[in-house]
Structure 1
Amino acid sequence: MDSEQTTNSQAIQDGQTERTSIAGQVSPSENVVWHRGKLYRKGYTTGSCATAAAKVAALMVRRQQLIYQVSIVTPSGVTLNLNVEDPSIEGQEAVAAIRKDGGDDVDATHDMLIYARVSLQDEHNDIVITGGQGVGVVTQKGVGLPIGEAAINKTPRHTIEQEVRDVIGPNQGAVIEIFAPEGEERALKTYNGKLGIQGGISIIGTTGIVTPMSEESWKRSLAIELEQKRAQGLETVIFVPGNHGERFVTEQLHMNADWVVNMSNFVGYMLQEATRLQFKRVVMVGHLGKLIKVAAGVFHTHSHVADARMETLVTHLALLGADNALLQAVFRCPTTEAAMELISEQHFEHVYDHIAHAIVEKVRYMLRYANQAPQCDVVLFSYDNVVLGSNRPPQEIAEVDQ
């Protein structure tokens, strides 16, 4: 997961599921991944389904005719041509569905229909996006969306609005309802309930594409990028867990995007690779909920492997003298993001610097036998793109040149 995102992945399922059909077609090289001589099919996210459904519904209202195929460009730049199911038009309102295809990836939402109902509005030119049947509602802080909001993440909201706006023009308004009749049942196989998302699935996806890949193959692909940057003469690398971290590095820290490498959940592996390649400096930038695990000595940060977030946060608060009431309240929070308000109320924000220093120490200990371990810096941020803590002033970290 990218940061502490909600997920529609199944909580427990071993192996790969064989699938034989794909509704969306992209070029052959983009549609598959090879691993150890076996072909794995890519898929597309619930966010892509919702975007395509909304776009085609808007087109049907405009043209007053049923449409059975639609094309969208995903945030990663891949074009999808998707089959439309169950289309209907009634005056200034249209409904359409796209069938979710997760490719050869384990996904609780595979093969379900994601619907969009688009109603054009003449009295205003706003585009309003809501969630209907089967789309979860946020009931707790900590997932990057306000309480009471439909669980439609920021990237899908942006792509839905952008595609519909392109269809209806700048002066027309629209209300877009995203719904999934099977969503409530499917959500029981996801982590949504634990994260305070009730009543359905999440509409998610930062790239729009689901890429199935074995862990070893995935790790190797990340290491190849690291090798390329070292071959280009770079001596500093910035490790981020995902797309959110990469954006934070460039937009908030104003550091060079060319230094950034996605480490995903493979923190220990990528640190060892950086050491092998003799990088002089590693900067780790990520959401607190992801990197706090490293402060506990957890170097594979996927929730399937280990989850020590709240235990680690409580430990560091206790070391700084927090009272039992705060420790109990923080421990009951579902995510670190949800705990931030409690920590702020009690003026314990310095715990984040404490955690950043602990991460650096854990990295130093893990690499203690290396002849020349890289210098490590850590920057922790929140969903609101605010620096929470660092092992030294972030301005100093950002100003160091290659």
Structure 2
Amino acid sequence: MPPSPPGYTLPVWVAAAARAAVLALRGEPFLASQPLRLDPLASQQPLAEVPVVAAAPLGEGRAMAVARCEPGDGLDLTRGLVIWVEVRWLPELTPSEGWLQLEAGEGVGVHSQTGEICLSAFARELLEVNLGPLVEPGQALAVRVVFPSGRALAERTSNAAFGVVEGLALIGTQAEVQQSATPDQLERVLKELRQRAARSGFGGDLVVVIGENGLDLAPQLGLPQELLLKAGNWLGPVLVAAAEAGVARLLLFGYQGKLIKLAGGIFHTHHHLADGRAEVLTALAALEGVAGDALHGLYQAATVEQGLAELATSDPAMAERLRRRLARTVEERSMAYLARYGQLQMAVGAMLFDRSRTICGQGPVGERLFRDWGDRDLGGKVGGDT
């Protein structure tokens, strides 16, 4: 088998397995390397060779293929993820799906409210452009995706904060991986930051989010789209660069299980590089007055989310105070970080959300900024009944 090409996102590997499965369904020879179009919108482009592990027919009208996700040299949760794709011919076209019906198997994320497979427009378009030439006019194809370890891996993500349950979402927006922990990614963020600050009419305001989830949720809360900057995990350098570029007011908007690291002085938030979340949580809880079994329970909790939820069940007022202390400490430690670099002129606020899409903590600066920029009528909650 040829070597795995580096840096491809999960939708690419799913598309490769799906194509291999359709070839098996058509009775064609197995190809260990599938030629794929990686840009669904480009009519003229070289095909990329993406390896798959195996493919075979399963009986009349059904076939399956297997691929293994290789996202490149950077740090990535999906490294080595085994992908199964089963395909089958459908008796007729479905009005809602057209010729391609996508199904979520075990370990694939679905929307909590609808039960429908959670995938990006790019993922669907990638499947359509690569499978379409193999499907005859009038035929309809069902594609069922399975991630055998997807349910367990999803517990290490914040997908549930955006209504995605039961597994990993298929939400890549491009073919090549953009590593959030690499220096190249930081350089791209800093370049965009400087370009924004240099534009005519720049007002000095900025909302920094860590990843795609925060980027998706922030505008739903009324935070202006034009203020949003996806920083990845390099929050420390981005804070300093923002102050140097003339940003006057900056809001850190993120999942509480990520931003808690800043309260402990950890300003690169990738989980492979630094953690300490349990220690930070229990230290802040002790300062707030939590003691005994409750404090031990916070330390032993599997996640920050779980620990705070259990505390809220037994002592809601204490949990509320702890979340506020957490957000306030993020603000204070961010200002202390800036002071180390002689940057004291920028106000930094913090706004945290939990897995139920609820704003669960705001520091005093973050609360003021959200009053100025956000939609207060939303009540801090977006979508769903959770």
- Common fold by TM > 0.5: yes
Do the aligned partners of 2:349 and 2:366 also contact (CA within 8 Å) in 1?
A: no
Deviation, structure 1 residue 124: 12
Structure 1 pair 327–111 and aligned structure 2 pair: CA distance change class (3 A)? closer
Give TM-score scaled by structure 1 length.
0.66
Matches of residues 60-75 of structure 1 in structure 2 within 5 Å?
61=25, 68=31, 69=34, 71=36
Between the two proteins, the alignment pairs up a number of residues equal to 337
Q: Which residue of 2 aligns with 1:301?
A: 269
Q: Is the 8 A contact 1:45 1:102 kept in 2?
A: yes
| Partner residue of 1:269 out of 211, 222, 237 | 237
Aligned pair 1:209/2:176, yes or no?
yes
Q: Supply the distance in 1 between the matched residues of 2:122 and 2:323 (Cα, whole angstroms).
A: 31
Check if 1:94 corresponds to 2:63: yes
User: Is the contact made by 1:74 and 1:80 (CA closer than 8 Å) also made in structure 2?
Assistant: no
Please state how far the C-alpha of 1:246 moved relative to its aligned partner: 1.1
Q: Given that residues 10 and 172 in structure 2 are in contact (C-alpha distance below 8 angstroms), is that contact kept between their aligned partners in structure 1?
A: no
Matches within 5 A, 1:231-250: 231-232=198-199, 233-250=202-219
After superposition, the C-alpha distances for 1:48-88 in whole angstroms (9 at most, x for unaligned) are: 31244236536865x66568546465899999745464333
Q: State the secondary structure of the residue aligned to 1:115.
A: strand
User: Are 2:200 and 1:229 aligned?
Assistant: no
Q: Which runs of 5+ in 2 are unaligned?
A: 95-100, 158-166, 374-386
Aligned to 2:287: 319
1:389 to 344, 361, 369: 361
1:299 to partner: Cα distance = 1.7
**Are 1:130 and 2:105 matched, yes or no?**
yes
Does 2:252 align with 1:284?
yes
Equivalent in 291, 304, 316 of residue 336 of structure 1:
304
Distance 1:305-1:88 versus aligned 2 partners, 3 A rule: closer
Q: Which stretch of structure 1 is more off in the superposition, 352-361 or 207-216?
A: 207-216
Are the aligned partners of 2:122 and 2:172 in contact in 1 as well (CA < 8 Å)?
A: no
Secondary structure of 1:43's counterpart equals: coil
Question: Which of 374, 382, 385 matches 2:346?
Answer: 374
In the other structure, the counterpart of 1:365 is: 336
Q: Distance in 2 between matches of 1:76 and 1:317?
A: 51
Q: What amino acid is the match of 1:45?
A: T
Match of 2:320, SS state, is coil
Q: How does 1:154-233 map to 2 (within 5 A)?
A: 154-155=118-119, 159=123, 163=127, 174=142, 176-178=144-146, 195=156, 206-207=172-173, 209-211=176-178, 215-232=182-199, 233=202
Is the Cα contact below 8 Å between 2:181 and 2:233 reproduced in 1? no
C-alpha deviation, 1:389, in angstroms: 1.0
Deviations along 1:317-347, one digit per CA (max 9) or x if unpaired, are 3333334222222222222223243133121
Q: Deviations over 1:188-211 (max 9, x none)?
A: xxx959959xxxx97876445324
Asked whether the equivalents of residues 240 and 284 of structure 1 are also in contact (C-alpha less than 8 Å), the reply is: yes
CA-to-aligned-CA distance 1:84-112 (integer Å, 9 cap, x gap): 64333332311123453433446697678
Q: Is the 8 A contact 1:48 1:74 kept in 2?
A: no
**Cα deviations across residues 11-42 of structure 1 (Å, max 9, x unaligned)?**
xxxxxxxxx8455xxxxxxxxxxxxxxxxxx5
Give, in angstroms, the shift of residue 358 of structure 1.
1.0
**Structure 1 contact 367–373 (Cα < 8 Å) conserved:** no
SS of match in other structure, 2:144: strand
Residues 4 and 70 in structure 2, CA contact (< 8 A), matched pair in contact too: yes
Query: TM-score normalised to the size of structure 2?
Result: 0.69
Alignment CA distance shift 1:109-1:360 (3 Å): closer
Change (3 A) 1:193 1:332: farther
Identical counterparts, % of pairs: 22
Letter in 2 for 1:237: L
- Shift of the alpha carbon at 1:304? 3.4
Change (3 A) 1:315 1:51: farther
The verdict on how the C-alpha distance between 1:179 and 1:164 changes in structure 2, with shifts beyond 3 A counting, is farther
Corresponding residue for 1:10?
Answer: none
**Which one-letter code corresponds to 1:276 in the other structure?**
E
Alignment of 1:116 with 2:52, yes or no, is no
Residue 376 to residue 112, structure 1, CA distance change in 2 (3 Å): closer
In structure 2, how many angstroms separate the alpha carbons of the residues matched to 1:157 and 1:331? 40
Q: Give the conservation status (yes or no) of the 8 Å contact 2:12–2:126.
A: no
Higher helix share: 2
Q: How does 1:31-70 map to 2 (within 5 A)?
A: 42-54=6-18, 57=21, 61=25, 68=31, 69=34
Give SS of 2:190's match: helix
Maintained 8 Å contact 2:351/2:367:
no
Q: Which amino acid aligns with 1:378?
A: A
Would the alpha carbon gap of residues 96 and 70 (structure 1) be closer, same or farther in structure 2, given more than 3 Å must change?
Answer: farther
Contact 1:240-1:285 at 8 Å conserved across structures: yes
Change (3 A) 1:110 1:334: closer
Helix, strand or coil for the counterpart of 1:48?
A: helix
Q: Which has the higher contact order (CA 8 A, sep 6+)?
A: 1
